[in-house]
Amino acid sequence: MSEPMQSAVETVAQVDGLIERRRLAQARTLLERSLAQQPEHVELLLRGALLDHLEDDEEAARRTLQSVLAKEPDHAGARRLLFSVLLELGRLEEAEQVILGLLRDHPESPPLFASYALLMLRTLHLDKAQRLAREGLRLDPEDAECLFAQALCELVGSPSSNASAALPELLRQSPEHAHTLWLLSASLRQQGRLRAALRVAQELLRSAPDSPPYLALVRELRLATHWSLLPLYPMLRWGWAGSALVWGGAVLMLAVARRLPPVVAGTLVVLWLAYVIYSWTWPSLLRRWLARD
């Protein structure tokens, strides 16, 4: 009896190592071999669910986790993973129940406050998210997950603010962590510093070349910084305020044009119409063109 248990513990350690090195297929083979011998082993099942989650098979991961939790309802690792899986599935109310249960059992755990804060950010309960991130940071001012949640709250609240304290702290603590780079890229993007955001996003993609969200981010930023979109710079840099500026300028120009000779006025009107058509059609055409690469 003790030999297979020992073997399961060893397998779990090996699978963890393989998952850390992103060798998921190898981890899966090893795990399946071990699960064939001990199909009810909780830690092996948990790794199976983790692999499903990492391979985006969230429904399979959820089913496995439910069977794990039926055996061990208080298993913290399984509950945390279930929270992440439910988030991916978009079952946010169930995810909230899971994280609330975890917080009831571990009220002094900053990462749980951070996870709850991220959920609240996603469900647009921004003030609550801020309070949760602050509470987590009160328990541990250097907790990376709480700093991430706090930085996101600050980014959403005021992206151009220099008062943000969490992002610089994250950059100091873990400058190469994917969360930090993603946050930095998002922050630069919201400030309209698109080229800098693209450089950071490219760095992020280099760290995980097979990540679809990072690829999408780089594509989006490549589009926004494409030379052919230079005439749309005010909109790309200042968003709606830039758009209002351009429209205000156009109204002024057309008002002045009425007093000019008809040929000049006509040319200005045609130019403006061409610009409007270009601004409505070219970005989506370019997006399709770049997506072919």
Tell me which residues touch other proteins (CB under 8 A): 121-126, 152, 155-159, 186, 190, 240, 244
Look at residues 118, 47, 48 and name the one whose alpha carbon lies nearest to residue 83.
118
Decide if 162 contacts 131 (C-beta within 8 A): no
CA triplet 242, 248, 249: central angle to 5 degrees?
90
Q: How far is the CB of 272 from other proteins (least distance, A)?
A: 17
Of residues 76 and 244, the one with the C-beta less far from other proteins: 244
**Six token digits for residue 77:** 């690792």
Q: How far is the CB of 157 from other proteins (least distance, A)?
A: 5
Of residues 156 and 253, the one with the C-beta less far from other proteins: 156
Q: How far is the CB of 123 from other proteins (least distance, A)?
A: 5
Decide if 82 contacts 98 (C-beta within 8 A): yes
Of residues 36 and 124, the one with the C-beta less far from other proteins: 124
Q: How far is the CB of 103 from other proteins (least distance, A)?
A: 20
Catalogue the long-range contacts made by 34-40 (C-beta closer than 8 Å, 24 or more residues apart). 34/7, 34/8, 37/4, 37/7, 38/4, 38/8, 40/71
Of residues 244 and 271, the one with the C-beta less far from other proteins: 244
**Six token digits for residue 73:** 């309802």
Of residues 64 and 185, the one with the C-beta less far from other proteins: 185
CA triplet 201, 203, 207: central angle to 5 degrees?
110
Of residues 77 and 157, the one with the C-beta less far from other proteins: 157
Q: How far is the CB of 86 from other proteins (least distance, A)?
A: 15
Q: How far is the CB of 112 from other proteins (least distance, A)?
A: 20
Look at residues 47, 41, 109 and name the one whose alpha carbon lies nearest to residue 81.
47
